Amino acid sequence: MVVAGAAAGLGGSRQVQAQEKMARATRGMPSPKIKDVTVIATQPAGARLTVVKVVTDQDGLYGYGCATFTQRADAVVVAVEKYLRPLLIGKPVNRIEDIWQTCYNSSYWRNGPVLNNAISGVDEALWDIKGRQAGMPVYELWGGKCREAILTFANTGGADPKQVVDGVRQAMARGYTHVRVGAGYGRRAGGGGQAEPTGPKGLHEGPVFDRGANLRLMLQIFEVCRKDIGFEVELMHDMHERYSPREAIQFVKDCERFKLYFLEDPLSPEDNDWYRQMRSQCATPIAMGELFNSPHEWTPLIVERLIDYIRCHVSQVSGVTQARKIASLAEQFGVKTAWHGPNDVSPVGHTAQLHLDLASYNFGIQEGGIITGVLAEMFKGCAAFKDGYLWASDTPGWGVEVDEKMAAKFPYGANEQGEHGRLNGGWGELRLSDGTVIKQ
């Protein structure tokens, strides 16, 4: 009891000290200034995660932001360290909008994914700092909660309808009411599914993707899911922009009878104009945006009500300052948010999205955000998951603390194998049977 009491007293003393440090950076005092901007580059569980840390000139006051762009991870690190850091040293941390505009507009060459992700890291770190200063979670700074918790969806896939149905039932047993399903055909998975090593023989040695076969299989999967499970579960599918506009429009029309929650990325950003034709021909809900970098891409689709869910990758559009504006624009036109959130978003990024979801009236659904294993050890304070929902803490800022010493033990490339490692984690090829490269 004496030992326990001493330990408790020591822990309480440390907590008081931490609170005293934070009290030095309260409202009413001169704004803290940016003292340093550093990058935490780590790869503990497959994806290369890039987290920016902004340190202020007030002891104990700092913040974290997500700049994760796995395909060009090293380039983002350089963009932060060599370009944004010299620009930002000495600037007051309370001028978040001004700093975002400075980074964005002063670059001249803008709306590219490398700089956008670098800006996101700084932007989200500044919001984390502001929440820590205010002593409240960031969602409170944006008007408070619109809901108690955040609805998420599960992923399942397979090479035949039975495998997919079994996966959907397993997800439902874990409390999910929304499931994204995928089909694997040949030597390549389509939209989240895992393909068996069978299927069409190509004129090359790489993965083969058969567009027609995969679309026919997906229609079979939806048919069997609705027959065996019914309409008590919401179904989604990621088309991943792998089809021609004609193929995509026909498939979206064919899916209308299955009453899907949404079809994701039926067209690539280069084919955005085709959404007018798609919308005029069917009512299947559409989610789009994970590859978007520029307002020129998302604004027409939202304003013309050509999509139902905006699906941007938050760091790809330059952080939560921009994402909040996208959400506000979308609300005016009846479009909901469904931010992109796979494993190549850091736990800091997932948490930032969670705060966006809580404070946005037009939130639809969230991908990912369930942090477990080594990631949960490294990024402490992430959301709790229960029965298909994510629950945020009321800790100031994002509520996430990064074990930087642990992160340093997992440098980029440490756990990559084969071709993926040789290509620096950034490339992959997907071809038709005749060898034509298509979008992934």
Q: Which residues of the chain have pLDDT under 50?
A: 1-8, 11, 185-198
Is 236 part of any domain? Answer: yes
pLDDT at 24: 53
pLDDT at 4: 42
Is 407 part of any domain? Answer: no
**Amino acid at site 213:** A
Q: Exposed/middle/buried for 197, CB within 10 Å: 0-12, 13-18, 19+? A: exposed
Is 40 part of any domain? Answer: no
For tokens 């939560």, name the residue. 320
Q: With contact defined as beta carbons under 8 Å apart, do 91 and 126 qualify?
A: no
The active-site residue out of 62, 139, 185, 412 is 185
The active-site residue out of 240, 313, 340, 355 is 240
Tokens (6 digits) for 89: 């040293």
Is 84 part of any domain? Answer: no
Q: Is 240 a catalytic residue?
A: yes
pLDDT at 20: 58
Domain carrying residue 176: 150-395
pLDDT at 23: 53
pLDDT at 15: 52
Is 172 part of any domain? Answer: yes
pLDDT at 22: 57
- Long-range contacts, stretch 23-29, CB < 8 angstroms, 24+ apart: 24/58, 24/59, 24/60, 24/61, 25/56, 25/58, 25/60, 25/61, 25/132, 25/133, 26/133, 27/133, 27/134
Is 57 part of any domain? Answer: no
pLDDT at 188: 40
Is 229 part of any domain? Answer: yes
**Amino acid at site 160:** D
Q: With contact defined as beta carbons under 8 Å apart, do 251 and 264 qualify?
A: no
Residue 295 belongs to a domain with what CATH number? 3.20.20.120
What total number of domains does the chain contain?
1
Q: Is 204 a catalytic residue?
A: no
Is 326 part of any domain? Answer: yes
| Residue 206 main-chain phi, psi, to 5 deg | -85, -175
For tokens 């992109």, name the residue. 340
